[in-house]
């Protein structure tokens, strides 16, 4: 049966009334059931209605209405869900059920009494409504995003898409660390910045860009280069760390600190037409998840890992990789889905192919091994425990040591 057939069947079985008659019957004692989802009702609902989401109506209705002869008026947003819900209630034995034509949209447009939350709450619900509608997110998940703090290291090619999508998603506090200024050559891929902000510190430009997208987000600008002297203070109080760094030294220092403080590190790298994404969570999963040094025990030579300024990079590629990083951050905050922990995703944008390699922790890694300390460098003999993650894949892409990345 198609949706059209289902609606036609429901219309043949259910009595439909307009909003004026619904209000009159409500005043005479009928029970008005709003079958929209909770997030919809929070943006406004008919005064005196009882919220009974369609998704759980059959399971909850007996607890709310035990009398099969009770007069029930069902309302949704426009009149279709309520029609189907009314048909189902009739099948369950309820005899006096009607569906309100036009739903809450008609009720509101006709000036019927509505209960509306505070304007600030309405703006919040409107902004994040598409998240809130997802059962995996909902109001509680969105609240987790709003309460989260993320460290974004680098406000360049990767930091730009990550920052923008985290701000759009409502991540409440984004700490951006970078000591560089916006250059004209950045604008080919660093979409968080603008031509009018050339010469401005990137962290200042990032704050302007992110808060213009979402004024609710707190953007903390740290105009420093991350190193051993400041990394612990920057990492200690955040929920997730994003690696958008432009050199190996910073990546190693950052990874070591994430192991020390048990913070998940969302890694991304780009060069020419290729990119990589992974999640390193060795600090919370010692012995089962790898750290960055498990993948790269030591930095590749400059010949194997030329900078983006030397080798170039396709402008859209950081956007593709950065969006994947942002997705991993959101999943980590919400605790949903399967993250890239223990997996390295390799992207070939010319062929538009994705290849996944399994990453195992290096049992000899002196940073993340079970009995190791995160401030001790590994020996030169440490090996990468991975499948397919050979130097031809991992070495060149992860270099990108230029400020212009």
The string of pLDDT tens digits covering residues 193-212 is 999 999 999 999 999 999 99
194 and 262 both lie in a single domain: yes
The DSSP letter of residue 378 is P
Does residue 107 lie within any of the structural domains? yes
Q: Are residue 82 and residue 160 in the same domain, yes or no?
A: no
For residues 166 and 398, which has the higher predicted lDDT (pLDDT)?
Answer: 166
Binned at pLDDT 50, 70 and 90, residue 97 comes out as very high
Q: Report yes or no on 126 lying in a domain.
A: no
In this predicted structure, the answer to whether residue 385 has a pLDDT above a threshold of 60 is no
- 216-243, pLDDT tens digit by residue? 999 999 999 999 999 999 999 999 999 9
Does residue 348 fall inside a structural domain?
yes
Residue 253: pLDDT over 90: yes
pLDDT digits (tens, 9 = 90+) for 297-352: 888 776 677 777 778 899 999 999 999 999 999 999 999 999 999 999 999 999 99
- 400 a catalytic residue: no
**Are 155 and 294 members of one domain?**
yes
Q: What residues make up the domain containing 92?
A: 3-116
Same domain, 289 and 187: yes
How far apart (Å, rounded) are the C-alpha atoms in residues 153 and 64? Answer: 51
pLDDT value of residue 63: 82
Among all chains, which residue has been given the structure tokens 């990108």? 400
Task: Judge if 157 and 95 occupy the same domain.
Answer: no
CB–CB of 258/243 below 8 Å? no
Count the domains in the chain.
2
pLDDT value of residue 301: 73
**Same domain, yes or no: 90 and 161:** no
Query: Between β-strands 385-386 and 353-360, what pairing exists: parallel, antiparallel or unpaired?
Result: antiparallel
In this structure, the answer to whether residues 196 and 314 fall within a common structural domain is: yes
- Say if residue 77's pLDDT is above 90: yes
Task: State whether 303 and 349 are in the same domain.
Answer: yes
User: Of 101, 116, 131, which residue constitutes the final position of a domain?
Assistant: 116
Q: What pLDDT is attached to residue 265?
A: 98
What pTM was computed for the model? 0.71
The pLDDT of residue 119: 60
Nearest residue to 356 (alpha-carbon basis) of 319, 404, 388: 388
Binned at pLDDT 50, 70 and 90, residue 381 comes out as very low
Does 73 lie in the same domain as 152? no
Q: Give the CATH number of the domain where residue 37 resides.
A: 3.40.250.10
Compute the Cα dihedral for 17, 22, 26, 28 and give only its sign. negative
Q: 120 falls in which pLDDT band (50, 70, 90)? A: low
- DSSP E strands in 126-250: the ranges are 149-153, 173-177, 218-222, 240-243
For residues 272 and 339, membership in a common domain is answered with yes
Q: CATH number, domain at 235?
A: 3.40.50.720
Q: Are 92 and 202 contained in the same domain? A: no
154 with 269, same domain: the answer is yes
Q: Token pair for residue 293?
A: 């040094």
- Of 76, 294, 308, 365, the catalytic one is 308
pLDDT for the residue 107 = 96
Q: From CA 391, how far away is CA 275, in angstroms rounded? A: 14
Q: What kind and span of H or E run contains 343? A: strand 343-348
How many other C-beta atoms can be found within 10 angstroms of the C-beta atom of residue 195? 8
pLDDT band with cut points at 50, 70 and 90 for residue 78 = very high
What is the mean predicted confidence (pLDDT) over 364-375? 74
pLDDT computed for residue 405 by the predictor: 58
Question: Which of 26-35, 342-351, 379-388 is the least confident region?
Answer: 379-388
Q: Does some domain include residue 121?
A: no
Q: Considering the chain, what is the average pLDDT of its residues?
A: 88
Q: What is the mean pLDDT of residues 7-24?
A: 94
Burial of residue 304 (CB within 10 Å: 0-12, 13-18, 19+) is middle
Confidence of residue 264 (pLDDT cuts 50, 70, 90): very high
**Residue 223 within a domain:** yes
Which residue did the predictor score with more confidence, 70 or 38? 70
Give the lowest-confidence range in 57-71, 99-113, 251-265: 57-71
- List, for residues 136-190, the tens digit of each pLDDT value: 998 889 999 999 999 999 999 999 999 999 999 999 999 999 999 999 999 999 9
Among 116, 138, 161, which residue terminates a domain?
A: 116
């Amino acid at each position: 049966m198609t949706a059209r057939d289902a609606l036609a069947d429901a219309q043949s079985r259910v009595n439909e009334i307009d909003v004026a008659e619904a209000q009159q019957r409500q005043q005479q004692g009928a029970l008005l059931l709003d079958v929209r989802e909770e997030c919809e009702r929070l943006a406004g609902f008919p005064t005196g209605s009882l919220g009974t989401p369609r998704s759980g109506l059959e399971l909850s209705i007996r607890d709310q209405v035990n009398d099969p002869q009770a007069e029930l008026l069902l309302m949704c947003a426009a009149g279709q869900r309520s029609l189907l819900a009314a048909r189902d209630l009739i099948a369950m034995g309820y005899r006096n059920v009607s569906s309100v034509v036009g739903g809450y949209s008609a009720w509101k447009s006709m000036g019927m009494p509505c209960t509306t939350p505070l304007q600030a709450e309405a703006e919040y619900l409107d902004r994040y409504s598409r998240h809130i509608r997802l059962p995996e997110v909902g109001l509680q998940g969105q609240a987790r995003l709003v309460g989260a703090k993320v460290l974004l290291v680098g406000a360049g090619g990767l930091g730009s898409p990550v920052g923008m999508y985290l701000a759009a998603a409502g991540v409440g506090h984004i700490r951006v660390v970078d000591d560089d200024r916006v250059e004209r050559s950045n604008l080919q891929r660093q979409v968080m910045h603008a031509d009018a902000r050339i010469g401005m510190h990137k962290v200042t430009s990032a704050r302007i860009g992110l808060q213009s997208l979402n004024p609710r987000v707190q953007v903390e600008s740290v105009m420093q280069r991350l190193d051993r002297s400041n990394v612990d203070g920057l990492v200690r109080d955040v929920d997730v760390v994003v690696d958008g760094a432009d050199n190996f030294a910073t990546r190693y220092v950052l990874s070591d600190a994430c192991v020390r403080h048990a913070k998940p590190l969302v890694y991304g790298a780009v060069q020419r037409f290729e990119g990589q994404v992974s999640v390193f969570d060795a600090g919370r999963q010692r012995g089962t998840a790898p750290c960055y040094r498990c993948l790269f025990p030591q930095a590749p030579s400059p010949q194997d890992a030329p900078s983006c300024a030397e080798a170039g990079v396709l402008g859209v590629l950081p956007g593709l990789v950065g969006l994947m990083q942002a997705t991993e951050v959101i999943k980590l905050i919400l605790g949903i889905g399967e993250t890239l922990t223990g997996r390295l995703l390799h992207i070939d944008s010319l062929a538009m192919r994705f290849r996944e390699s399994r990453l195992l922790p290096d049992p000899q890694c002196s940073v993340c091994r079970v009995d190791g300390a995160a401030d001790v460098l590994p020996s030169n003999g440490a090996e990468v425990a991975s499948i397919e993650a050979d130097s031809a894949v991992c070495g060149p892409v992860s270099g990108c040591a230029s400020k212009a990345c």
